[in-house]
Amino acid sequence: MKNIISNYNEYKAKIAALFNGEYDLPTSVHNIIERGYRIPQNVQIDNIDVLIVGMNPSEKGEQKEYPTFDELTTNIKGPYWYAIKRYLCKEYKFEHIDLFALCETHQSMITKIGDNPNALEFLAKQLFLTQQLIELIKPKLIIVANKSAFAYWGKLPEYSWMGYSFESVKSDINSVERSMEIMKISGLSKNHPLPISKLLHPDFETNLIGTKILFARYQANGCREEKQITKNDIKYIFEHHIDK
C-alpha cells in the first residue's frame, strides 16, 4: 500500500468523514471537535519546491475551508502569514498545510487531547491523512517552524507519531543560536512504538527518503530577527542541499 489518497479532494472528503464520526470523549475534548475543522480551499500537489507544515489552525472563523496559500500570503491577515511571507522566494513554488485540522489557539490542548484513548485514535487517523498528503505532494524541502510539532514528525526520540527517521546534514544553516537545523529523511523509524502509519497500514512505506527538512522555532509572535528564516536561507538550502 503506497497511498490511500490520490488527490486533495479525497483528503478533504476523508477529513470531513473523520470529523462527522461519533466519539465517546470527555466534554473538554468533544467541545474542541464540535467546532469542526478548517483546511485550505485547495492545496497544490504538483511541482512543489517548499512545503510549510504548521500545527493547526487557530480558533477563528466558522468556515470549514479558508483561502489558498497564495491568497493568504498576498492579502496577509495576522502575524503567522506575515512571518511566512518574509522568506518566500519567487524562484520556488511554496505551499502550506497543517498537521491537524482542529481549530484550537492553544496548541498545548492538542497534546492533552491525546491523553484520552479514543481521542488518541482520532488524532492518529487525522495525522495519518496529513502524512499521506505530504507524501503525495513530495516537496523538495519541508519547513517545520514549530517546536511543538517536532514530536509528531518523529524528531524527538521519545515520541513516534508519523515516525520519520532523520540523518544529520552538515550545513551552515545549522545553528543553536538561530534555533535551526536542516536534516534529511532516511525512512520510517523501526523503534518501539511503531509509527502510526505502520499501525494503521502495516505495508505503508515512505517515498520521502532523502527529502530535506528544516526544523526551526515558531516564526511569529516575538521571534527575534536572528532566529527568523530568510530568503537567503531558502536559497542557500536549494543551492547546497537540494539535488538538482
On whether the CB atoms of residues 141 and 237 are closer than 8 A, the answer is yes
Q: Higher-confidence residue: 58 or 40?
A: 40
Is 208's pLDDT higher than 90? yes
pLDDT of residue 191: 65
Q: Higher-confidence residue: 58 or 138?
A: 138
Q: Which residues contact 61 (CB under 8 A, 6 or more apart)?
A: 38
Is 79's pLDDT higher than 80? yes
pLDDT of residue 62: 60
Q: Is residue 152 part of a domain?
A: yes
Q: Is residue 66 part of a domain?
A: yes
pLDDT of residue 167: 94
Q: Is residue 2 part of a domain?
A: no
pLDDT of residue 1: 47
CATH of the domain at 29: 3.40.470
Look at the pTM and tell me if it is higher than 0.75.
Answer: yes
Is 181's pLDDT higher than 70? yes
Question: Domains in the chain: how many in total?
Answer: 1
DSSP string, 129-183: HHHHHHHHH--SEEEEE-GGGHHHHT-STT--TT-EEEEE---TT-BTTTTEEEE
Q: Is residue 221 part of a domain?
A: yes
Q: Is residue 3 part of a domain?
A: no
Q: Which domain holds residue 111?
A: 8-240
Q: Is residue 212 part of a domain?
A: yes
pLDDT in tens, 130-169: 999 999 999 999 999 998 889 899 888 777 789 899 999 9
pLDDT of residue 51: 98
Q: Higher-confidence residue: 112 or 164?
A: 164
**Residue range 94-103: average pLDDT?**
93
Indicate the range of 3-12, 57-66, 97-106, 224-233 predicted with least confidence: 57-66
Q: Is residue 1 part of a domain?
A: no
Distance CA 201, CA 22 (A): 22
**Mean pLDDT for the chain overall:** 87
Q: Is residue 89 part of a domain?
A: yes
Query: Rg for the chain (alpha carbons), in Å?
Result: 17
Give the confidence band of 59 by pLDDT, cuts at 50, 70, 90.
low
Distance CA 181, CA 170 (A): 9
Give the confidence band of 31 by pLDDT, cuts at 50, 70, 90.
confident
Q: Residue with C-alpha cell 484550537?
A: 104
Q: Establish whether the linkage from the previous residue to 157 is cis, with ω within 30° of 0.
A: no
**Residue range 233-243: average pLDDT?**
95
pLDDT of residue 134: 96
pLDDT of residue 13: 94
Indicate the range of 28-42, 45-59, 166-180, 213-227 predicted with least confidence: 28-42
Give strand pairing partners of 53: 97
pLDDT of residue 105: 75
